[in-house]
């Protein structure tokens, strides 16, 4: 199984809402990632978890709060977002093996903030 | 800071043509260079991974090369098909930070 799943597929939220994005993998990967992708732009890294600990935070605003409850799950909690946060949010995972490392991406959650 | 550039930004070719997509990166301290495919509104599919010690990788009609010293990689697609239409992204995995830096992609359209 080389699948990374993400829920929901689409999300519309107001600026005062609180919502969460979920990501799951069952490949035994120990590194998980959140990327943000704006239209016609490449993905940009937001957070990296390695062995369930946050290892990279790319200076993301605190209205985005990641959580890694266990090695298979990754959440992204959203609160008080702005319209410019509308984007495709991609989750990825990898074995964390350096030069052989391939990241496997989920289908993404398309977020619209009104 | 790593910067990855892809040329051309868009490409339209008739079916059956062989084509080359180009990727360049500024920092040669990489673990590997990966090529991905992205269909509109979808996630990324990994196509090929070239380790820093390798020169090329092949998968079916796809061949990717890596010249780390010059900071360049190419993706060669043989006998293109309409189903190859997508955006192709290259990404470098730096040895310093364990995360990918993506190029802005090449949007490929293969005309039937």
Q: B34, A103: Cβ pair inside 8 Å?
A: yes
Q: A105, B31: Cβ pair inside 8 Å?
A: no
CA angle B22, B28, B32 (to 5 degrees): 70
State the pLDDT confidence band at A2, using cuts at 50, 70 and 90: low
Of A4, A98, A102, which is closest to B34 when you measure between CB atoms?
A102
CA distance A49 to chain B (A): 10
Whether the per-residue pLDDT at A102 is higher than 90: the answer is no
Q: Does B42 touch chain A (CB under 8 A)?
A: yes
Whether the per-residue pLDDT at B13 is higher than 80: the answer is yes
pLDDT tens per residue, range B72-99: 999 999 999 999 999 999 999 988 777 7
Q: Does A42 touch chain B (CB under 8 A)?
A: yes
From chain B, the residues in CB contact with A49 under 8 A are: none
Contact A101, B36 (CB under 8 A): no
Measured between alpha carbons, how far is B110 from B112 in angstroms, rounded to an integer? Answer: 7
Instruction: Report the range of poorest mean pLDDT among A9-23, A95-109, B52-66.
Output: A95-109
Whether the per-residue pLDDT at A100 is higher than 70: the answer is no
Q: Mean pLDDT for chain A?
A: 92
From chain A, the residues in CB contact with B28 under 8 A are: none
Of A4, A100, A103, which is closest to B100 when you measure between CB atoms?
A103
Whether the per-residue pLDDT at A101 is higher than 90: the answer is no
Of A41, A42, A96, which is closest to B98 when you measure between CB atoms?
A96
Non-local (6+) Cβ contacts of B25 within 8 A are B2, B3, B4, B5, B33, B71, B72, B73, B92, B101
The phi, psi pair for B105, rounded to 5°, reads 95, 155
Q: B46, A103: Cβ pair inside 8 Å?
A: yes
Radius of gyration of chain B (CA): 13
pLDDT at B94: 85
């Amino acid at each position: 199984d080389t699948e990374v799943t993400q829920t929901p597929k689409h999300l519309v939220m107001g600026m005062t809402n609180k919502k969460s994005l979920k990501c799951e993998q069952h490949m035994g990967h120990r590194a998980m990632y959140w990327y943000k992708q704006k239209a016609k732009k490449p993905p940009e890294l937001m957070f990296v978890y390695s062995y369930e600990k946050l290892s990279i935070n790319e200076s993301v605003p605190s209205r985005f709060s990641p959580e890694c409850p266990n090695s298979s799950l990754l959440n992204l909690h959203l609160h008080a977002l702005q319209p410019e946060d509308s984007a495709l949010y991609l989750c990825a995972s990898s074995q964390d093996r350096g030069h052989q490392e391939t990241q496997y991406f989920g289908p993404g959650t398309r977020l619209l903030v009104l | 800071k790593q910067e990855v550039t892809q040329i051309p930004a868009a490409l339209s070719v008739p079916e059956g043509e062989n084509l080359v997509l180009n990727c360049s990166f500024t920092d040669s301290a990489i673990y590997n260079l990966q090529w991905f495919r992205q269909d509109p509104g979808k996630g990324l599919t990994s196509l090929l991974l070239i380790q820093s010690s390798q020169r090329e990788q092949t998968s079916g009609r796809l061949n990717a090369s890596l010249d780390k010293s010059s900071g360049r990689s190419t993706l060669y697609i043989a006998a293109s098909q309409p189903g190859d239409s997508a955006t192709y992204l290259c990404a470098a995995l730096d040895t310093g930070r364990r995360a990918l830096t993506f190029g802005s992609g090449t949007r490929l359209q293969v005309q039937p």
